[in-house]
């Protein structure tokens, strides 16, 4: 039973560029959430997708957008990258409300 997978593992971009991160949920899960984790801090919620719609959004600018596909996989897009976007981006999947979210290994994004 495959867990949550994310790609790529690492990514280096320059300021102003755009990036797309990908996530495949754990088998049987229908909900995908994205979190940003800066060094030395706890993860911060970006948004959650359910039934291909953004169900909830955290305090992130519109430069952060996402998508969920019919097979429940998801993408996170960040436009006009800033140095402050450098972080570990974590994808989590879950089934139902209030249940545990299972996390992928993350994508380490470095913006130069």
Partner 1 sequence: AQKVTQAQTEISVVEKEDVTLDCVYETRDTTYYLFWYKQPPSGELVFLIRRNSFDEQNEISGRYSWNFQKSTSSFNFTITASQVVDSAVYFCALILDSNDYKLSFGAGTTVTVRA
In the complex with partner 1, which residue's Cβ is closer, 20 or 105?
105
Distance in angstroms (rounded) separating the CA atoms of residues 38 and 55: 24
Distance in angstroms (rounded) separating the CA atoms of residues 57 and 61: 10
Closest distance between partner 1 and the C-beta of residue 16, in Å?
27
Q: Structure tokens of 67?
A: 């998508």
Question: Binding residues for partner 1, per CB under 8 A?
Answer: 31, 33, 35, 41-45, 48, 50, 55-56, 58, 88, 90, 92, 97-106, 108
Closest distance between partner 1 and the C-beta of residue 105, in Å?
5
In the complex with partner 1, which residue's Cβ is closer, 14 or 41?
41
In the complex with partner 1, which residue's Cβ is closer, 86 or 103?
103
- Angle at the Cα of 54 (from 12 to 92), degrees rounded to 5? 55
Closest distance between partner 1 and the C-beta of residue 107, in Å?
10
Q: Which residues contact 104 (CB under 8 A, 6 or more apart)?
A: 3, 4, 5, 6, 23, 90, 91, 92
């Amino acid at each position: 039973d495959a867990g949550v997978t994310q790609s790529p593992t690492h990514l280096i971009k320059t300021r102003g560029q755009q990036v797309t991160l990908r996530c495949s949920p754990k088998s049987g899960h229908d909900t995908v959430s994205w979190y940003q984790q800066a060094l030395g801090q706890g993860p911060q919620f970006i948004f959650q997708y359910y039934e291909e719609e953004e169900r909830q959004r955290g305090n992130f600018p519109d430069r952060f957008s996402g998508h969920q596909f019919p097979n429940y996989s998801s993408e996170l897009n960040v436009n006009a990258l800033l140095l402050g976007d450098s972080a570990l981006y974590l994808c989590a999947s879950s089934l139902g409300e209030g249940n545990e979210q299972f996390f992928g290994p993350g994508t380490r994004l470095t913006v130069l």
